């Protein structure tokens, strides 16, 4: 689980856009067998080369992390499907 995702969640909790408990979220990560992915220098190198199809800095950094880690990028943001890179997959998720 990217620390970038947790950062975005924390902001949404703080401004009232998400009713969740950060302690519960953080506790669930290792309990469910996941680990945290921090921001690494390689992620930032890739970030500088990504095109600016939209202005969401969280999605851009998550996409750079996915590319560096050879992971699949999942997003609810349909704009991410317009990204021209074929080096990694972009899957649009549907909210419950």
Q: Which two tokens stand for residue 69?
A: 């880690």
Among candidates 8, 23, 95, 21, which has minimal Cα distance to 58? 8
pLDDT of residue 74: 76
Using one digit for the tens of pLDDT, what is the confidence trace for 40-84? Answer: 999 999 999 998 877 889 989 999 999 999 988 877 766 555 555
Indicate yes or no: pTM above 0.75. Answer: yes
Q: Which residues contact 91 (CB under 8 A, 6 or more apart)?
A: 72, 73, 74, 75
pLDDT at 91 over 90: no
Q: Is the predicted pLDDT of residue 21 greater than 80, yes or no?
A: yes
- Where is pLDDT greater, at 83 or 30? 30
Helix axes 3-14, 22-31, angle to 10 degrees: 160
């Amino acid at each position: 689980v990217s620390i970038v995702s947790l950062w975005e969640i924390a902001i949404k909790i703080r401004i009232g856009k998400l009713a969740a408990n950060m302690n519960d979220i953080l506790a669930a990560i290792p309990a469910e067998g996941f680990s945290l992915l921090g921001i690494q220098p390689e992620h930032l190198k890739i970030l500088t080369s990504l095109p600016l199809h939209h202005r969401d800095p969280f999605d851009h950094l998550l996409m750079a992390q996915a590319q560096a880690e050879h992971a699949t990028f999942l997003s609810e943001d349909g704009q991410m499907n317009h990204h021209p890179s074929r080096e990694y997959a972009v899957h649009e998720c549907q909210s419950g």
